């Protein structure tokens, strides 16, 4: 019985780590393909990823607010950054990636 419980816990841990890595990979991929066009250089006032000062106020608003704004559009940024083929889940992953890279 203890072995089965241990095996289950290990499997759960491995699955959780794999899920986080997959989400990180999706976020980075979406950022690279869609978001970096503006957020790498600051085009039209987009906060540059990695600029802690530019992102601190945004991060303070919280993940849900940033995700909502990214999906619906905010200021000069069109909905989904102009790539309407992106899913909401892909947008969430990209926002999480940009936030993490800008802490």
Q: How far apart (Å, rounded) are the C-alpha atoms in residues 24 and 19?
A: 9
Query: Which residues in the chain land under pLDDT 50?
Result: 3, 5-20
Quote the pLDDT of residue 12.
Answer: 38
Widest distance between CA atoms in the chain: 60
Q: How far apart (Å, rounded) are the C-alpha atoms in residues 35 and 37?
A: 5
Prediction pTM value: 0.78
């Amino acid at each position: 019985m203890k072995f089965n419980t241990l095996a289950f816990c290990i499997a759960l841990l491995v699955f959780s780590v794999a899920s986080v890595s997959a989400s990180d990979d999706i976020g980075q991929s979406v950022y690279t393909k869609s978001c970096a066009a503006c957020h790498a250089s600051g085009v039209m006032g987009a906060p540059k990823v990695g600029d802690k000062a530019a992102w601190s106020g945004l991060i303070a608003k919280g993940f849900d607010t940033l995700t909502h704004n990214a999906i619906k559009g905010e200021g000069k940024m069109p909905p989904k950054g102009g790539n309407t083929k992106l899913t909401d889940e892909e947008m969430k992953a990209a926002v999480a990636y940009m936030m993490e890279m800008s802490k």
